[in-house]
Amino acid sequence: MPLVRPGVRRLFDLMLRRRDVSRRDVDAEVALHIDLRVQQLVRQGLTPVDARMEAERRFGSQKVLQSLEQQAHWRDRRMSFSEWLDSVGQDIRYALRGLRREPAFTGFAIATLALGIGANAAMFGVVDRLLVRGPDHVRDPERLVRFTATLTRSGVGEVTHATLGYVMYDNLLKSGSPIFEGYAAYTSDGQFTLGRGRESRQIAGGAATADFFAILGVRAARGRFFLPDEDDTSNPQPVVVLGDALWRSQFNADPAILGKTVHINGDPLTVVGIAPRGFTGVQLNRVDAWIPMSLASKNVTDNWPRAWSAQWLYVIGRLKPGISLDAAGSEANRVYQVTYDGRPTWRFARARMGATPIHFTASGTESTEVSVAKWLVGVTLVVLLIACSNVANLLLSRAIRRRAEVGVRMALGAGRKRVARLFVTESLVIATLGGLAALAVATGIAMLVRKALLTNVEWTSSPVSLRVLTVSFVVTMIVGLLVGIAPAAQAARGSLHSAIQQGRAQGRRWRAGSWPTVLQAALTACLLIGAGLFVRSLHEARTMPLGFESDRILVVNIVFAGLSDATFEQYIANRARRNEAWRQALERLQRRPDIDKAALAVGSPFGNAFGVDLFVPGFDSIPKLEGGGPFISAVSADYFATVGTRLIRGRTFLPTEGAATERITIVNETMARTLWPQQDALTKCMRISADTMPCARVVGIVEDARRSNLREAPAMQYYIPLGQEVGFGGTVLMVRPRSTPSQFAPTATQAIYEVGAIVDRVQTWPLRERIDPLLRPWKLGATIFTMGGLLALVVAALGLYSVMSYSVAQRTHEMGVRIALGAKSQTIISMIVRQGMLLAAIGVAAGILVAILAGGRLESLLFNTSPRDVTIIGTAALVLIMSAAAASFWPALRAGRVDPIRALKSD
């Protein structure tokens, strides 16, 4: 047995021995030439020795010979390449001819692959944006880290978050740590108001320290980013850098805007630069304007640069090359421990600092979108797998159908390799056509994902970017080889004689594609179960009782025209004027027939939350609950009816109750249960703000309402009449219109402007808008799993249909015999359908097994849904098996209609 397999050696021949072959040819040719020349010269009268010398002289030196060999080698390579190219061209033409002859098969194969490849290309685009490429314009994003703090909260345990205080950034900066190149602090998910008065509009705003841009390695497209002087904590300069999109849409891309003044959040700021197109900082959401961190933070709290009481920004750092994330985290923690200068009793005294990759979220974890996106890549790969196995199956049965043709080809002298190459060429041609169609599919899916699912991401590249194209091309080629291997091997394997024989006998022994069908059914089952779980999660999340009716409520905020609160007297006077304006606004709205109810609130769901000191007779301290709190809200009379929070016992506030009347309060169920278990909370006493305050009597108990998230631990919450609040403020108007909140928004805005000049501008947002983003992960999962699941179902059903049709066509003879022997056509039909359903059932069983095993990993992404939900698994199984029955029914019908005489005669 030779050491090297012949095929492998041939490969080496092409690369190495070819040169020897060329040389041998040249040597033989030259030798003949010289010999003939010698004979010629001898005939002319020279001695044989002289003749040879003369002949060799005439031919030239050894060097000439070498250059001849070189040229011959080059010629051989060129000719063999063009020969190869010719044969490839022939193969492609042959493949195209064959595909044109079977348009149904071709169309199905191309469409299947287009869906599979297209879905993958689109998902690659999404993952590329979310995970791989990092934010635009950021140099080496993998060397950027986001710092986190891990705190121990009583009753909750350790909580990690990335929202930190400026003091932590400041301490890192002063530490001069050797493993970091630099640090920056930023926020980029805020809302700014651009312009003044009624013409003002909300824009996406960011704030950053001056070193932010240097650390990211980004330069302004025009002008510059802030200078360190402009971000001075004690004297910030009023400057702003505009985002490219805003500059184009709002300022007509006018370069003269540099140096001009725009109003942001009511302050006149000088435009110093325009950010490059698509620059979003280190997050992916759009940012329309960047202002210095010191300017943005000046109202956060007293002594904000050194305060430990407020955390409102993110701190990032750039690692020196080669430093690991762990090293970064422990170094940040080391610096933190030696620089902490707050009181030893504060929670931060025992905090730990760490570092996460830059794409992690504020809670120091990977965002749900990213986790879901990773699953989606899995889903689309499964769809691609199904598509491939389907097309491979089709090609395989086609190869078997063409045994006779292949046999004839081989008889005419085509080698096995040549035949195999024909089949691979054909599958590559199909894959390429599928890949081209996939670009349209990818564009469609990507548009959908961008518009409907990942709306908060600033997409800067087209859905089919160069990277997506490259990936699609590679996937297409792999798919082409993958689906071509089995038929090519099948075609090349069969011996000449048996090929012709079996071709005539229609390859009866071969049962077309049982296991690919089972595999497809299994994968489809997984996808359908996944779709079911996400749809259920979305439904659960959407319909979960929040303790208020989020769909019905419009929230309105008034920004007042510049009232100076310089002295305490001014502040008191202005507060009275503002409260009066709020009261008038409420009255104006309440008078309208197109609203149901309206109320004022200081502290509202998915808005501000406040806590003040609370003293309850019988308690040394108020029990701490996992959800935090107790939280306090001051609300006007109709508040509970407006937002739809149910009253459990007692009464709500009266319109007459306010600052001047008796202190009263309404508590939520959790508070009633926690403070007065097994007692009636009504008429109990609470002292709010200070223990010297008069008793606030509990007059009512209301249901719990969510404060800031869909999933949160219960917390104590109590309400007092508007006007009785001390030490907190920030009113909003809650409106319950008869129409939808977004339809009513312009009317509400108009009505409130009529209150007078004190109203500078009116902001409105449907309460739903604050909740919908929280639903996004489930929406994303439900949409993509459902799309993938349906796609897989259709592809798998069509696959089963073609397999069953093929099997029926092969077994015409058998059916003829059965019918001739007295089988009823119903019996035959049910036999075939049963076979189809059996294949599907085996697959479904396997799929359910996989789904149950993998379900645990999906659990954290679901909402109040068990990954082993029996209804969902059962429904998915039923849908699949019924689809299998439907897919086998038509082939079965054909089998039942076989004419026994014709079937038996034809064989």
Partner 1 sequence: MADALPVVKGTLDVLVLKALSWAPMHGFEVTTWLEDRSGGALDVEDSALYQAFYRLEARNMIAAEWGVTENNRKARYYRITSSGRAHLRAQTAQWIRYAETVSDILTAPAR
Residues near partner 1 (CB under 8 A) are 25-26, 28-30, 32-33, 35-37, 40, 58-60, 64-65, 67-68, 71-72, 74-75, 78-79, 82
Tell me the C-alpha distance between 706 and 723, whole Å: 24
Shortest reach from residue 429's CB to partner 1, in Å: 27
SS3 at position 205:
strand
Amino acid at 763: Q
Q: Output the smallest distance, CB 53 to partner 1, in A.
A: 14
DSSP 677-700: TTS--TT-EEEESSTTSPPEEEEE
Look at phi and psi of residue 709 and say left if phi exceeds 0, alpha if psi is from -120 to 50, else beta: beta
Q: Closest Cα to residue 630, out of 568, 719, 546?
A: 719
User: Smallest gap, in angstroms, from Cβ of residue 450 to partner 1?
Assistant: 52
Report d(CA 713, CA 479) in Å as an integer: 49
With respect to partner 1, which residue has the nearer C-beta, 58 or 738? 58
| CA 308/CA 871 separation, integer angstroms | 51
At 145, which helix (H) or strand (E)?
A: strand 144-153
**From the CB of 213, what's the least distance to partner 1, in Å?**
58
The residue (of 59 and 473) whose beta carbon lies closer to partner 1 is 59
Return the bridge partners of 11, or none. Answer: none
Beta carbon nearer to partner 1, 70 or 574: 70
Residues 6+ apart with CB under 8 A from 899: 816
Smallest gap, in angstroms, from Cβ of residue 61 to partner 1?
A: 9
> What is the closest distance, in whole angstroms, from the C-beta atom of residue 900 to partner 1 in the complex?
59
Closest CB to partner 1 among residues 52, 673:
52
End-to-end CA separation in angstroms for the chain: 45
By C-beta, is 25 or 128 nearer to partner 1?
A: 25
Residue with smaller CB distance to partner 1, 65 or 710: 65
840 neighbors 899 (Cβ within 8 angstroms): no
Q: How far is CA 275 from CA 40, 219, 227, 272, 314, in A?
A: 85, 8, 14, 10, 20
Q: How far is the CB of 27 from partner 1 (least distance, A)?
A: 11
Considering beta carbons, is residue 24 or 902 the nearer one to partner 1? 24
Least distance CB 90 / partner 1 (angstroms) = 17
Q: Measured from the CB atom, is 33 or 198 closer to partner 1? A: 33
Both tokens assigned to 278 = 């698509």
What does the H/E/C string look like for 9-69? HHHHHHHHHHHHHHHHHHHHHHHHHHHHHHHHHHHCCCCHHHHHHHHHHHHCCHHHHHHHH
**Which is nearer to partner 1, 37 or 868 (by Cβ)?**
37
The nearest distance, CB 64 to partner 1, in angstroms, is 4
Longest C-alpha distance within the chain, in Å? 144
Looking at the DSSP bridge assignments, the partners of residue 121 are: none
CA-CA distance, 441 to 702, in Å (whole number)? Answer: 51
What angle separates helix 514-543 from helix 767-810, to the nearest 10 degrees? 160
CB nearer to partner 1: pick between 53 and 561: 53
Distance of alpha carbon 79 from alpha carbon 678, whole angstroms? 97
Q: Can you count the helices (H) and strands (E) in the chain?
A: 25, 23
318-333 in b/e form (b: 16+ CB < 10 A) is bbeeebeeeebbbbbb
Token pair 């909402």 is found at 863
Q: Which is nearer to partner 1, 51 or 454 (CB)?
A: 51
We find the least distance from the C-beta atom of residue 35 to partner 1, in angstroms, to be 8
Nearer Cβ to partner 1 (82/90)? 82
Q: Kindly tell me the burial class for residue 576, based on how many C-beta atoms sit within 10 Å of its own C-beta (0-12, 13-18, 19 or more).
A: exposed
CB of 39 to partner 1, least distance (A): 9
Rounded to whole angstroms, how far apart are CA atoms 512 and 386? Answer: 16
Q: How does DSSP classify residue 347?
A: G
Closest separation between CB of residue 89 and partner 1, Å?
A: 15
Nearer of residues 30 and 838 to partner 1, judged by Cβ:
30
Q: How far is the CB of 421 from partner 1 (least distance, A)?
A: 23
Return the closest-CA partner of residue 885 out of 847, 825, 830, 842. 830
d(CA 92, CA 422): 8
